Amino acid sequence: MRPEQWSAFKKAAKREPGAATPVSLIVDSPWIPGYCGVSHIDFFVDPEVWFHANLKVARDFPDVIPFPAWWVEYGMAIEPSAFGSRVHFHANKTPDQTPTLLHLEDVASMAAVNPNADGLMPFALQRYRMHKQRIFDAGYTIPVVAARGPLCIASFLRGVTPLMMDIADGREEIHELFKLTTKCVIDWLTAQAEAIGDSVEGILVLDDIAGFLSGRSYREWAHPYLTQICEAFPKEWVKVYHNDANVRPFLAELPATGFDVLNWSHNISVREAREKTKGGITLMGNVPPLDVAVRGSADEVTASAKDVLAQAGGEGLILSVGGGVSPGMPAANIRALVESLASS
């Protein structure tokens, strides 16, 4: 994103009086390689492919704020790789991983992650160091660092179903695991910010696994750790939370974490989200990412976007899809999103 785009995003995120509604999309490796016609493996391992793919997206859609912008990521592999998970790379899809924490009792012997030495983290940090000046010289900025959230990382290590069963059983070791993964999130975000430098003024935390919890379970097993992450960074920074699972049971409690922006599921309306959060968090959404953004026509995108804008009433909104940009979303539909705002 360009510096002036970051300024617009920041004003909307902080709900400054008179802030305009921008258009912003979470764009990352599930979508970028396919759109740019490159393989996933080249996007991950070839710095030139990565740079020019991100540059193409920025230039093709100058009125869209790509978020978090110039993100060095390997699908969801970075954080689990630092804990020693076996990561599986593929030519034309994002990587996956095999859970390695087969016995929850082994949490007691797990060491904290060192972002400068462990897994794929040092490779990502080095890419930031190597390319940041080139990005700045091209007229762009890198204002946000990103990490998967503590429950999400734990699910990579343990497996989603075993993790949910452990939570249901009230296993105390899960708190130890979440303490470890929360420290990983904070340390990883900090290391990225240090590698990039003073342009960083925000964080993006992606954790859908919290959306599998009831309100009561969320309060015990997720809220304290999400709050701890927000509190680890300056108050004036922009803090964005992505969760396009079911956040309905704890929507009212999300503003108290310290997050400024929520990117949430299209299955919960803007009206309901606004009512439950009482305007305490900026909403980033909420056009359906698959049925409309990928499979729908440009006219359907426009209609959906105008409905979102009408529900928001012109404030507290960053127009987006209800999640990240999904593979196959066509350029025409991205432009329709922009045009729907311009014509409103």
Question: Can you give the three-state secondary structure of 272-283, one letter per residue?
Answer: HHHHHHCCCCEE
Q: Cβ atoms within 10 A of the Cβ of 97, count?
A: 18
Instruction: Report, as an integer, the average pLDDT of 35-45.
Output: 96
| Signed CA dihedral, 150, 151, 157, 163: sign only | positive
Q: CA 112 from chain center: how many Å?
A: 23
CA distance 338 to 325: 14
pLDDT of residue 2: 98
Q: Cβ atoms within 10 A of the Cβ of 235, count?
A: 8
Phi, psi of 232 (to 5 degrees): -80, -10
Question: Does 23 have pLDDT greater than 90?
Answer: yes
The interaxial angle of helices 150-158 and 223-231, nearest 10 deg, is 120
Structure tokens, 313: 């009433």
Query: What one-character DSSP code corresponds to residue 15?
Result: T
Instruction: Report, as an integer, the average pLDDT of 52-75.
Output: 97
Secondary structure E strands in the chain: 24-26, 65-67, 86-88, 96-98, 144-148, 202-206, 238-243, 261-264, 282-287, 317-321
Question: Does 344 have pLDDT greater than 90?
Answer: no
Question: Does 343 have pLDDT greater than 90?
Answer: no
3-342 has CATH 3.20.20.210 classification: yes
> Among residues 298, 301, 286, 340, which one has the least CA distance to residue 26?
286
Sheet with 202-206, strands from edge to edge, namely 144-148, 202-206, 238-243, 261-264, 282-287, 317-321
pLDDT of residue 88: 94
Rg (CA), the chain: 19
Asked if residues 76 and 94 have their Cβ atoms less than 8 Å apart, the reply is yes
Asked if residues 44 and 92 have their Cβ atoms less than 8 Å apart, the reply is no
Residues 6+ apart with CB under 8 A from 323: 26, 242, 244, 263, 265, 266, 289
Residue-wise pLDDT for 239-249, tens only, equals 999 999 999 99
Residue-wise pLDDT for 265-309, tens only, equals 999 999 999 999 999 999 999 999 999 999 999 999 999 999 999
pLDDT of residue 35: 97
Q: To the nearest 10°, the Cα dihedral for 28, 213, 305, 17?
A: -90
> Among residues 106, 100, 129, which one has the least CA distance to residue 116?
129
Q: To the nearest 10°, the Cα dihedral for 164, 168, 172, 175?
A: 50
Query: What one-character DSSP code corresponds to residue 30?
Result: T
CA distance 152 to 229: 14
Range with the lowest mean pLDDT among 89-103, 208-222, 246-260, 281-295? Answer: 89-103
Question: Does 183 have pLDDT greater than 90?
Answer: yes
SS3 at position 145: strand
Domain ranges in the chain? 3-342
> Among residues 332, 248, 328, which one has the least CA distance to residue 289?
328
Report the chain's mean pLDDT, rounded to a whole number.
Answer: 97
Phi, psi of 97 (to 5 degrees): -145, 155
